[in-house]
Amino acid sequence: MYDFNSYTEAHSIDEAVRALGGNPNARVIAGGTDVLIKLRSRDEAFVGRDLEGITRIPGLAGVSVDTQGDITIGAATSFSQIENDETITRCLASLGTAAGSIGGPQIRNVGTIGGNLANGATSADTAAVLLTYNASLVIHDSSGSHEMPACEFHTGPGKVRLEQGQLLTAVKIARADYEGYRGSYIKFAVRQAMDIATLGCAVLVKMDGNVIEDLRIAFGVAGPTPLRAAAAERFAKGKVPSGKILEQLGRICLEDTKARDSWRAAKAFREQLITVLPQRAISQALGGDGNA
């Protein structure tokens, strides 16, 4: 009972971009785990559209490493692929964790990282993690392609910087943004599976001996978009990650977050999670059990 006007499949990025640019009624569909749900619930922004399938475009799925050691993840790469990919496991372990936390196996087999980002949800598990890796996003349109930092992509709930005719084709992570770092991701949800994050917390830490050389913290659901906790990151640099320092750091995270009350969770509870989860994520990244 899906109310769409047509479905076509693109065989190349150019073909997809042409189809999207030439038809204001066209919409991208990849794995469909968001689009079909919105169609089923008869979301006006999705009903009656011409759906452009992109998952079978050659080269749009998969993980590759170039000679510089920079990593490219195709936008149509499924969560299962990411979760089980050798490069991801070795270099971007927290991204694998985030991908593995989404839905159940069936969803992870079809849902894609590109869709997770382009859907624009603040709760997208991979989005917060990608912020910690300073990922950049490759976007194609009729005039070619350009890159955009992942932190500029989300503009509001369900909103991203993609114009009609533009297609997110890949996520890139530079070697300097993962080498020597250890990351972790904690998805806080009521259930252990098949759930949406009440709060997501990704950290990426680089140590210099026993001192934090660099720390990146990103949250999902701590504001209208995934966001970084810049003040806490600045505070952490050069410090020994003792329990006391981590506690302080957790509280400083609140300077950058904008949690609110909703029927899903109270603001006070989200803010408690904002102060607690980074401490645990950092301990986990550094090899502890995560219970700070």
Partner 1 sequence: MKNKVIGDSVPRWDARAKVCGRADYTADIPVKNALHGKIVRAGIAHGRVLCLDIEDALRVPGVVKILTPADLPKTKFATAGHPYSLEPGGDVYDKNILTDYVRLYGDEIAAVIAETPLAAAVAAEKVVARYEELPFYLTTEEAMADGAVELHEGVKNNILADTTASVGDVEQGFAQADHIFESEYQTQIVQHCHMENQAAVAYQDADGRWTCISSTQIPHICRRILGEALEMPWSKFRVIKPFIGGGFGNKQDVIIEPLVVAMSMAVGGRAVRLELEGEEVLAYTRVRHAIRYRSKVGVTKDGRITAWQMDAVSKTGAYASHGHSIAAKGAGILSTLYEIPNMIYRSRTVLTNTGNAGAMRGYGVPQITFAIEAMTEKICSALNMDSFEFRLKNFKKEGAPHPLNGIPMATNKVADCLTQGKAAFGWDGKMAAALGDKGGIIRRGLGVAAFSYATAVYPYSLEIAGCRLTMNQDGTVKMMVGATEIGQGSDTGLIQIAAETLGVPAEMVYAEAVTDTDIAPFDTGCYASRQIYVTGMAVAKAAQELKDKICRAAEQFYKISSQVLDIEDAYIINTTTGDRVASLGDLALYTYYDKARARTLTAEVSNNCHNNSYPMGVTFAEVEVDTQTGVVTLLSMLNAHDSGVIINPLLAEGQVEGGMGMGVGFALGEDLFYDTKTGAPLNNNLLDYKIPTAMDVPELGVLFVQPVDPYGPFGAKGLGEPPLCSPAAAIRNAVCQALGFEIDSLPLTPGKVFAAIAAHRSGGEANV
State the residues that interact with partner 1 by CB under 8 A: 1, 3, 41-42, 104, 188, 190-196, 198, 263-266, 268-269, 272-273, 276, 291-292
Tokens standing for residue 229: 């906790």
Instruction: State how far the Cα of 167 lies from the Cα of 160, in Å rounded to an integer.
Output: 12
Asked if residues 216 and 185 have their Cβ atoms less than 8 Å apart, the reply is no
Residues listed for the chain: 292
Shortest CA distance to 217 belongs to which of 262, 186, 180? 186
Burial 23-60 (b: 16+ CB within 10 A, else e): beebbbbbbbbbbbebbeeeeeebeebbbbbbbebeeb
The residues with which 188 forms a beta bridge, in sequence order, are 199
**Mode of pairing for the β-strands spanning 144-149 and 182-188:** unpaired
User: How is residue 155 annotated by DSSP?
Assistant: E
Q: Count of alpha carbons within 13 Å of 65, Cβ hemisphere only?
A: 13
We find the least distance from the C-beta atom of residue 194 to partner 1, in angstroms, to be 5
Q: How far is CA 251 from the centre of its chain?
A: 24
Q: How far is CA 256 from the centre of its chain?
A: 18
Sequence-distant (≥ 6) Cβ neighbours of residue 183 within 8 angstroms: 92, 93, 94, 95, 129, 132, 133, 202, 203, 204, 205, 285
How many Cβ atoms sit within 10 Å of the Cβ of residue 194? 10
